[in-house]
Copies of this chain bind each other. A is one copy, B any other.
Amino acid sequence: MLLTCLLPAVTRAQQSDSLVLRQMADEILRNSTAYENLRVLTKTIGGRLAGSPQMVKAEQWGVKALKAAGADTVYLQECMVPHWVRGEKEEARIVSKLRDFVPPLNILALGNSIGTGKAGVTAPVLEVASFEDLEAKKDQVKGKIVFYNYHFKPEFIKTFYSYGDAVKFRGQGASKAAKYGAVAVIVRSMSHGANNFPHTGAMSYDPAYPKIPAVAIGLQDADRLSDRLKRDNSAKVFLRTTCEMLADVVGHNVIGEIRGNKTPDQYITVGGHLDSWDVCEGAHDDGAGCVQSIEVLRTFKALGIKPARTLRVVLFANEENGTRGAKKYAELAKQRNEKHVLALESDAGGFTPRGFTSTMEPEKKAKMISWKPLLEPYGLYDLEGPGGGTDVGQLHAAIGTPMVELSPDSQRYFDIHHAANDVFEAVNKRELELGAFGMAGLIYLVDLYF
């Protein structure tokens, strides 16, 4: 009985759906262009931060790739995007009275941060373990560099929970330290990785306090700095960053559509974000989501499956440090009173998919969960979890569209997230393709049953 219960019988309608899903999987695993598309994006364009020349090249690549996949219509949707530049290679070193050799610290400026200026800054360092610890030591902060040495928790099985737990030090750490007179902050990277890559990412300033420079440090160097401070509490750090925020520039969401066969004025959005951090190839984050979304469209066209609703692939601009693309997309959808049936995003890495996280009305959620017998043979078993993505979240917030995010295996993601090792070689062809299949399959079912 239990066995029957755990493996619910596939209904007659599901039998025919299961054949279509199998066709989709075969098509993708045999003929996908996702991996080759990703190679071109990452290896010929590379990092593509909002406002950079690579952003423009990536938009052109997106148009070309969507046309090649068979989109009926491909167009650009304009939006203003921030233009933050890293400037010269960052420098950092420990200045200590101890005589032993101290190699430079491996750091990266955090996105949106101001720089130290060309001369750099040298100051004593106050290590803190948390914001509570910062409050307890607030009288010691003035004139110092605050070093947030909060460790990424290993106990969470889904590593995005570790990220959610730790990312506040990157996002808010500078202003919280500036409040007490800090001159800069160094933030331990949000990573499990057994390496020393610093992981950048967006920070923001609280307008109530002075802006101070913020940098990320690799795990091994964070341990080294902490150890040094234990042995020499008068040790200082020299930091030099020349990053700066310039005036906004024009960027674009890149959009490709298959016009709906029955109700073309209803939309299913599927997307990833086209921008990435400048210090890496943005292969998992989020080249993978872009090429998977394009692959969904290609698969529908290649198999001659005509969706009832208009299928709209959106390569969102500027997710990393502003979400301006998704905001513009949601704003226009609301303005035009568009009816959106689903918004699906892939922005959690191109690893083997395990399911989807989502936010929608309970009846729809129950329907989605009832598709488990169809999806589990492809490793997509985890359909219950709450969630959604940064980009589709804008549409959800604006007009209540059911939102879903592909949920890949997360163990390797924070080894490479926003770091120099997020490169094409870290993506496995089949894992990427299975993610694209999950997205195509879900959209097929949503188009039939939502």
Question: Which residues of chain B come closer than 8 Å to A30, judged between CB atoms?
Answer: 154-155
A334 at the interface (CB under 8 A from B): no
Which of A192, A411, A412 counts the most chain B CB atoms within 10 A?
A411
Question: Which residues of chain B come closer than 8 Å to A366, judged between CB atoms?
Answer: 2-3
Give CA–CA (A382, B7) in the complex, Å: 11
Contact string against B for A residues 373-390, beta-carbon threshold 8 Å, 1 for contact and 0 otherwise? 000011101101000000
Contact B25 A369 (CB under 8 A): no
Question: Which residues of chain B come closer than 8 Å to A155, judged between CB atoms?
Answer: 25-26, 29-30
Give CA–CA (A6, B411) in the complex, Å: 25
Contact A2 B7 (CB under 8 A): no
Contact A384 B7 (CB under 8 A): yes
A194 at the interface (CB under 8 A from B): yes
Contact B434 A415 (CB under 8 A): no
Contact B157 A192 (CB under 8 A): no
Question: Which residues of chain B come closer than 8 Å to A5, judged between CB atoms?
Answer: 5-6, 8
Question: Which residues of chain B come closer than 8 Å to A415, judged between CB atoms?
Answer: 428
Given A30-B155, A154-B30, A155-B25, check contact A411 B434 (CB 8 Å). Answer: yes
Contact A192 B429 (CB under 8 A): yes
Question: Which residues of chain B come closer than 8 Å to A369, judged between CB atoms?
Answer: 2-3, 6
A409 at the interface (CB under 8 A from B): yes
B8, B411, B429: the one within 8 Å of A431 (CB): B411
Give CA–CA (A31, B7) in the complex, Å: 36
Shortest Cβ gap from A358 to chain B (Å): 14
Question: Which residues of chain B come closer than 8 Å to A2, judged between CB atoms?
Answer: 8, 366, 369-370
Given A26-B155, A379-B157, check contact A6 B372 (CB 8 Å). Answer: yes
CB-nearest residue of chain B to A28: B154
Given A379-B157, A381-B382, A411-B431, check contact A6 B3 (CB 8 Å). Answer: no
Contact string against B for A residues 427-444, beta-carbon threshold 8 Å, 1 for contact and 0 otherwise? 011110010000000000
A352 at the interface (CB under 8 A from B): yes
Question: Which residues of chain B come closer than 8 Å to A147, judged between CB atoms?
Answer: none
Give CA–CA (A174, B117) in the complex, Å: 70
Contact string against B for A residues 253-288, beta-carbon threshold 8 Å, 1 for contact and 0 otherwise? 000000000000000000000000000000000000
Shortest Cβ gap from A49 to chain B (Å): 28
Give CA–CA (A26, B155) in the complex, Å: 6
Give CA–CA (A382, B192) in the complex, Å: 26
Contact string against B for A residues 1-31, beta-carbon threshold 8 Å, 1 for contact and 0 otherwise? 0110111100000000000000001100110
Residues 335-380 of A contacting B (Cβ, < 8 Å)? 352, 354, 366, 369-370, 372, 377-379
Shortest Cβ gap from A206 to chain B (Å): 34
Which of A157, A377, A382 counts the most chain B CB atoms within 10 A?
A157
CB-nearest residue of chain B to A4: B5
Interface of A toward B, CB cutoff 8 Å: 2-3, 5-8, 25-26, 29-30, 35, 154-155, 157, 159, 192, 194, 352, 354, 366, 369-370, 372, 377-379, 381-382, 384, 409, 411-412, 415, 428-431, 434
Known: A5-B8, A157-B434. 18 other contacts (CB 8 A): A2-B366, A3-B384, A6-B384, A154-B430, A157-B378, A157-B379, A159-B430, A192-B429, A194-B429, A352-B352, A352-B411, A354-B379, A379-B409, A381-B381, A411-B428, A411-B430, A411-B434, A412-B430
Can you pick out 27 interface pairs between chain A and chain B where the beta carbons lie within 8 Å of each other? A2-B8, A2-B369, A3-B369, A5-B5, A5-B6, A5-B8, A6-B372, A6-B384, A7-B384, A25-B155, A25-B157, A26-B155, A29-B154, A29-B155, A30-B155, A157-B377, A157-B378, A157-B379, A157-B434, A159-B430, A192-B430, A354-B379, A379-B409, A381-B382, A411-B434, A412-B430, A412-B431
Shortest 4 CB-CB contacts between residues of A and residues of B: A29-B154, A411-B430, A381-B381, A411-B431
